[in-house]
Amino acid sequence: MRKGITYPHREGTCSRQAHADFPQQAIYEREAGRSGFFGPASHFHHQHPPTNWREWQGDFKPRAFNLNHIEASQQVSPWHVLPVLHNQQCKIRVWKLNQSMPSLARNADGDELLFIHQGSAELYCDYGHLSVVMGDYVLIPRSTNWRLEPNEAMFILMIECTDSGFGLPEKGIVGQHAVFDPAVLDVPKIDDAFKAQYSESTTQVSVKRHDQINTITYPFNPLDAIGWHGDLSVVRLNWRDIRPLMSHRYHLPPSAHTTFVGDGFVVCTFVPRPMESDPGALKVPFYHNNDDYDEVLFYHEGDFFSRDNIEAGMMTFHPAGLTHGPHPKAFANGQKQTKKHTDEVAVMIDTRHALTFSPAAQSVELPDYVYSWRESED
């Protein structure tokens, strides 16, 4: 891996420490960084908010989508749902399902990560039966046969790791049990519910390969395993089992909240935590240019402390190379230390290569989002 050139230097009036104890005449810090918070970085101290632009021309801009209103996602097969955002390594779909899948699904293009935003269901797969509920991540390895039987209407965020697989992040000096202990991961069971679905009835499997759908018909239900052993399986993780890294004196970067890693992108989870208590520490996400990664945020529940007028089920998209950060009200509240805890839950996807957004996403876009950082002139 190419190593960045590093030469720490101080120029003009600046703080001794990133994200803390800013100069009195410049309370706005902006980080310009490489390699998704892991590479070289510099921290600027500005006299004005770096997102307080007056006008914006061109399509290369921050965007927000209200996925509650997306219509094209009402399908019984996940492969009939078009991506909202995608590149060659990652596809992000929104799937709304209110009835049992009539056939099995199999993704031969890559691993699939489901985040259950709303609803609950019974999942049946090659490995057995698993009940899934709101707030669950469900990681489905490539080429696994599976289907869902909803107990109620479902809203699912789907993240495909195309031509690769998901893994867990390296946790370094904090150890393997930090953030979440792998022991909390649940796997399917070959239980009575799974055995009850054994069948000699004709069953179809809808297989996606190179984004083309192939149908395989069996004279029986291929979910007929009587047992298995190994270290590859569907696994479930609920966000409530995540115990976030924290510092009372320093606002940790988003990378500290990494949950899953794929080739060319990461999936992070923001969950409730205490706010920084040190008087000089930044209390909200810092303004930053993530100059190598596109950033996507899906808002699951709670009070999204860095954003104004954002509700659950919405998604924001900040392309690499643009400055973004907290909205004015959120920044002001952070200065006043009005909150002691965050109560938001959100899923972030950072991709190394540029994402393309679909016509379905454009149909639910909030066109004025690019101006949502503009401060009032009153």
Q: What is the pLDDT of residue 314?
A: 96
**Residue 343 CB coordination number (10 Å):** 13
Structural domains in the chain, CATH included, are 28-65+243-371 (2.60.120.10), 72-239 (2.60.120.10)
Burial bucket for residue 238 (CB in 10 Å: 0-12, 13-18, 19+) = middle
Task: Write the DSSP assignment of 46-85 as a string of letters.
Answer: ESS-TT--S---SS-S-EEEEGGG--TTB-SSGGGSPPSE
Amino acid 307: pLDDT: 76
What phi, psi does 80 have (nearest 5°)? Answer: -90, 0
**Residue 316: burial class (beta carbons within 10 Å; 0-12, 13-18, 19+):** buried
- pLDDT for 2 equals 63
Query: pTM of the predicted model, to two decimals?
Result: 0.92
| Residue 111: predicted pLDDT | 98
Predicted pLDDT at 305: 66
Contact 316, 51 (CB under 8 A): no
Task: Judge whether 186 and 125 are in contact, CB under 8 Å.
Answer: no
Return the residue matching tokens 């902006």.
30
Report whether 129 belongs to an annotated binding site: no
What gap in Å lies between CA 375 and CA 54, rounded to an integer? 9
Catalytic residue among 251, 257, 300, 318: 251
Asked whether residue 80 is marked as a ligand-binding residue, the answer is no
Name the token pair of 14.
């600046």
Name residue 315's beta-bridge partners: 65, 298
Answer whether 99's CB lies under 8 Å from 372's CB: no
Q: Distance between CA atoms of 242 and 182, rounded to whole angstroms?
A: 10
Distance CA 212, CA 321 (A): 33
Residue 378 pLDDT? 43
Q: Is 294 annotated as a binding residue?
A: yes
User: What per-residue confidence (pLDDT) applies to 83?
Assistant: 94
Query: Using alpha carbons only, what angle is made at residue 107 by residues 78 and 167, rounded to the nearest 5 degrees?
Result: 110
Active-site annotation holds for 251 = yes
CA angle 62, 68, 72 (to 5 degrees): 95
Per-residue pLDDT of the chain (378 residues; tens, 9 = 90+): 566 667 788 887 778 887 777 877 667 888 887 877 777 888 888 888 888 888 999 999 999 999 999 986 778 999 999 999 999 999 999 999 999 999 999 999 999 999 999 999 999 999 999 999 999 999 999 999 999 999 999 999 999 999 999 999 999 999 999 999 999 999 999 999 999 999 999 999 999 999 999 999 999 999 999 999 999 999 999 999 999 999 898 888 888 999 999 999 999 999 999 988 888 888 777 888 878 999 999 999 998 766 778 899 999 999 998 988 888 777 776 666 777 888 899 999 999 999 999 999 999 999 999 999 887 644
